[in-house]
Amino acid sequence: MARFHILPRCPLAVQFWLLGLDARRGDLTRLGYQKTPMNTGSSAYTLDFMERHSLILHSTGLTLKLPEGELYYERRTGRFTLDGQPILPA
């Protein structure tokens, strides 16, 4: 008999898929993101906004640089960290 594992779904999975489509079409660069080739295969897209804030998108996750620290989302695990410290769900 087959066994199934039900994992909690993360709505960011759909968002990353849509962002990937935007990147392939060139929409992210048209929206002001700066494309930077990475040695992991896919490019990173950086958007600087407001003072001292930036958003970096990559196929492995995203990084939001804030005055309070660096918020990172790891796509594979679905986990968030702030300056390397895990952010636990409420």
CA–CA separation, 36 and 45 (whole Å): 6
**pLDDT per residue as tens digits for the range 35-61:** 999 987 789 999 998 877 899 999 999
**pLDDT per residue as tens digits for the range 60-90:** 999 999 888 999 999 988 899 999 999 987 6
Which residues, 6+ apart, have CB-to-CB distance to 23 below 8 Å? 43, 45, 57
pTM of this prediction exceeds 0.85: no
